[in-house]
Amino acid sequence: MGRINNSVVPSDDEILSKRGYKLDRVLGEGSYSKVKSALWKKPGSNETLQVAIKIINRTTAPQDFIERFWPRERDLMEVLQHDNVIQMFDIFSEANKIYMSLERATHGDLLDYVQLKGRLGEQETHKYFSEMCNGIKYLHGLQIVHRDLKCENMLLTAQNSIKIADFGFARKMSKSEISKTFCGSAAYAAPEVLRGVPYEGTSSDIWSLGVILFIMACALMPFRDTSLSKILKDQKNTPNFPEKHKLNKRYCHLVTNILRYDLKKRFSLQDILHHDWLTTIYNKPRPDPSVSSTDSGIESD
């Protein structure tokens, strides 16, 4: 219990325990939120769920965020229900704070995983990428563009599945609608987003998926310079695949066609889903090359 201007403010623990939550540790921090893990005993049920509670303080977050971005995130999360998208269970506001109870991904994010493990094997890259594509297909089918796809927003579950998280920049956009807002991280942002020209959201999400696909198999950023002008220059060229990894040519073909500077030439989600790298081993599990003692990455054809 805290005290501000002589009024008693209940703590997060007190507010949440009334609703059946038992707060645990901090999982992470966003720009305007803190995310904590908790166990939630659903009212009227014996089920106990592992959840992540996103806590937003109305008094410290910028007005723009509270009035525009956060309500959009809330409205989108309320309808989302897909195996590869983090689900929202509950949302409420008390004592100047907003509490979002989310399905918890217990195995961290993809960036930490790649940093810990090094580049991923072909089967693992393929599995995660397929799951991301399934999640994005669902979102784009609802005309929702995420606009901040990056490894940090790809969470991993105990069942080793991908869950797309963080809908802070996401919005509903019809096919013909264009946006000019710069969203997301420069290293994952499509050229049209970085250049500040009007863009159509689904193809910029596709670009970010290409960056993630490159990172998974190479453990490198495809455009890794710190200066914006250098990133913009490099984005005009085919990404540099590290030769020593002898990457599968069909994998390189897919990445190259996703990371097309020219929007007219950039693969669509349909092109990706029908690409042979994705379809040929889609239903045919192969031994994971990462168990080989010589090389943990994608092999050449």
Of 32, 40, 129, 277, the residue at the interface with ligand ATP (CB under 6 A) is 32
Q: Does 59 bind ligand ATP (CB under 6 A)?
A: no
Please list the helix, strand and coil fractions of the chain in percent, rounded to the nearest 5, in that order: 35, 20, 40
Strand partners, 82: 85
Instruction: Work out how close the CB of 60 gets to ligand ATP at its nearest, in angstroms, rounded to a whole number.
Output: 12
What is the secondary structure of 159-215 as a DSSP string?
TS-EEE---SS-EE--TT--B----S-GGG--HHHHTT--B-HHHHHHHHHHHHHHH
Instruction: Work out how close the CB of 272 gets to ligand ATP at its nearest, in angstroms, rounded to a whole number.
Output: 25
Of 109, 131, 192, 205, the residue at the interface with ligand ATP (CB under 6 A) is 109
Binding mask 132-171 for ligand ATP (x = CB under 6 A): --------------------x--x---------xx-x---
The region of 26-34, 61-69, 126-134, 207-215 touching ligand ATP under the rule CB under 6 A is: 26-34
DSSP state of 245: G
DSSP state of 91: E
Toward ligand ATP, which CB reaches closer, 57 or 257? 57
3-state SS class at 291: helix
Q: Which residues are catalytic?
A: 148
Of 4, 22, 30, 197, the residue at the interface with ligand ATP (CB under 6 A) is 30
Nearest to 236 by CA among 260, 255, 201: 260
Q: What values do phi and psi take at 268, rounded to 5?
A: -90, 175
What are the start-end ranges of the H helices in the chain?
A: 12-17, 63-64, 70-79, 110-117, 122-141, 191-194, 201-218, 228-234, 249-258, 269-273, 276-280
**Using CA atoms, how far apart are residues 221 and 216, in angstroms rounded to an integer?**
9
Q: Are 148 and 156 in contact (CB under 8 A)?
A: no
The region of 98-106, 129-137, 191-199, 229-237 touching ligand ATP under the rule CB under 6 A is: 98-106
The region of 32-40, 139-147, 172-180, 245-253 touching ligand ATP under the rule CB under 6 A is: 32-40
Q: Does 129 bind ligand ATP (CB under 6 A)?
A: no
Toward ligand ATP, which CB reaches closer, 62 or 141? 62
Toward ligand ATP, which CB reaches closer, 69 or 267? 69
Q: Does 183 bind ligand ATP (CB under 6 A)?
A: no
Instruction: Work out how close the CB of 297 gets to ligand ATP at its nearest, in angstroms, rounded to a whole number.
Output: 26
Binding site for ligand ATP (CB under 6 A): 27-33, 35, 52, 54, 86, 102-105, 109, 152, 155, 165-166, 168
